[in-house]
Chain A
Amino acid sequence: MGTVFGPDVPIFLQIADMIESAIMSGALAEGDQAPSTTEISVRYKINPATALKGITKLADDGVLYKKRGLGMFVAGGARKKILEKRQSLFYEKYIQPLMLEAKKLELSYEQLCEMLRRGYKP
């Protein structure tokens, strides 16, 4: 209750993001039925209109599609789509704040590279 969602991003986008994460992790496979608006709104105690907005966004993005009378399903190629989107957002979302913090802490470029090397285990 008011603890699951942060205030900085609209809740419907956070809902969409959670479902995308479930698809990325494989918890929701392509072809699987996505949770319904009611299930989402009851589970997270949010207005059903908000849940619907999140689902509609995923449908607009081609991540989910509607089977008439059955509900929403994960589209073929959804995982790849999400992967590409998240990769393109990676710089903005992670690298930029990383750089800001590194500068604040007076870390050199070489020190940063060393940390990246240390942390990167393929």
Chain B
Amino acid sequence: MSQIEVRNLTKKYGAVTALNDVSMTIGENRIYGLLGRNGAGKSTLLNLITNRIFPTSGEVLIDGEPVLENDRALGKVYCMSEQPLYSDSMTVRNVLGWTSEFYPDMDTEYALVLADRFKLNIRKRLKALSTGYSSIYKIIVALSCNAPVLLLDEPVLGLDANFRDLFYRELIARYSERPSTIVVSTHLIEEAADVIEHVFIIKDGRVILDDTTQNVLEAGCTVTGPAALVDAYTAGYKVLGSDILGGIKSAYLLGTVDASAAPAGVEVSRMKLQSLFIHLTNA
């Protein structure tokens, strides 16, 4: 049960602004999606939240306390990311042992059950693990550490379809049984779309969208039909992008059109989160 407050966070690397005045509230016991293209600033944000790097300005509060060098606040958060936290000569079993030192609520028994389900040999050294299994051991630590806040930066990196499926099932089962605040950052949006309750989209270091998944999905639509009719019908709307094939045009727009007023031959349909994301971040 923990909440994160990000206030006017800016991170500059020399002349490059990786994160530009970002503010957001990550509320208790919900599942959030943090979406953005490569280099948008997602990992920078997660690293700032967990005090792995320092902000140029702004601050992060966990349950009202600044995270800066604050072990008590940081102990509430587990951040899974591509960067390894441990020496690669350690075995997975060592990692589980160390994690339980830092996260006293860790459920090691459950970690072993998960290792079995994911067919992970815990006697293996980290350096001997494939990309997929590197993600898997981190997933297992994240799901079993029982931190009130989980930040998962591309948790399904290198996982095959079966294990991605298993990951989302385990994540939901765990969350149902023991609610926690979860932020999932992923490029495989379609697979996460039904799981996340609230969406943040980051583009060029700024948050361009911060809303519930349901509102986001209701905010956009696709209008398809003969190009001239579609153009006339969508005039005045904010068209994010379009495709044309054999005289039939699909326009992707923000806003709600009156589907019942569409001329014959023109169809209005909803957009999936992934297409909306693509059109919002293409421009």
Could you list which residues of chain A lie within 8 angstroms of chain B, going by C-beta atoms?
Answer: 1-2, 5, 7-8, 10-11, 37-38, 41-42, 44-50
Known contacts A1-B164, A7-B217; decide if A42 and B176 are in contact (CB<8 Å): yes
Contacts of A5 in B (CB 8 A): 194
Contacts of A8 in B (CB 8 A): 269-270
Which residues of B from 207 to 250 have beta carbons under 8 Å from A?
213-214, 217
Contacts of B214 in A (CB 8 A): 10
Determine if A45 and B270 form an interchain contact, defined as CB atoms under 8 angstroms apart: no
- In Å, the complex CA distance between A10 and B197 comes to 13
Determine if A11 and B197 form an interchain contact, defined as CB atoms under 8 angstroms apart: no
Given A7-B217, A38-B176, A50-B194, 17 more contacts at CB 8 Å?
A1-B190, A1-B194, A2-B194, A5-B194, A8-B270, A38-B172, A38-B173, A38-B177, A41-B176, A42-B172, A42-B176, A45-B169, A46-B194, A47-B31, A47-B194, A48-B175, A49-B197
Contacts of A50 in B (CB 8 A): 194, 197
29 contacts between A and B (CB under 8 A): A1-B194, A2-B190, A2-B191, A7-B269, A7-B270, A7-B272, A8-B269, A8-B270, A11-B194, A38-B176, A41-B172, A41-B176, A42-B169, A42-B172, A42-B173, A45-B165, A45-B168, A45-B169, A45-B194, A46-B172, A46-B195, A47-B31, A47-B172, A47-B194, A47-B197, A48-B176, A49-B30, A49-B197, A50-B197
- In Å, the complex CA distance between A46 and B175 comes to 11
Q: Is B196 an interface residue (CB 8 A)?
A: yes
Number of A-B contacts (CB under 8 A): 59
Contacts of A49 in B (CB 8 A): 30, 197
5 closest residue pairs by CB, A with B: A2-B190, A7-B270, A38-B176, A1-B191, A46-B194
- In Å, the complex CA distance between A5 and B193 comes to 11
Say how far B269's CB is from chain A's closest CB, in angstroms: 6
Say how far A97's CB is from chain B's closest CB, in angstroms: 11
- In Å, the complex CA distance between A47 and B194 comes to 6
- In Å, the complex CA distance between A41 and B173 comes to 8
Residue from A38, A41, A50 having most chain B Cβ neighbours under 10 A: A41
- In Å, the complex CA distance between A37 and B31 comes to 16
- The chain A residue with its CB closest to the CB of B174 is A42
- In Å, the complex CA distance between A1 and B193 comes to 9
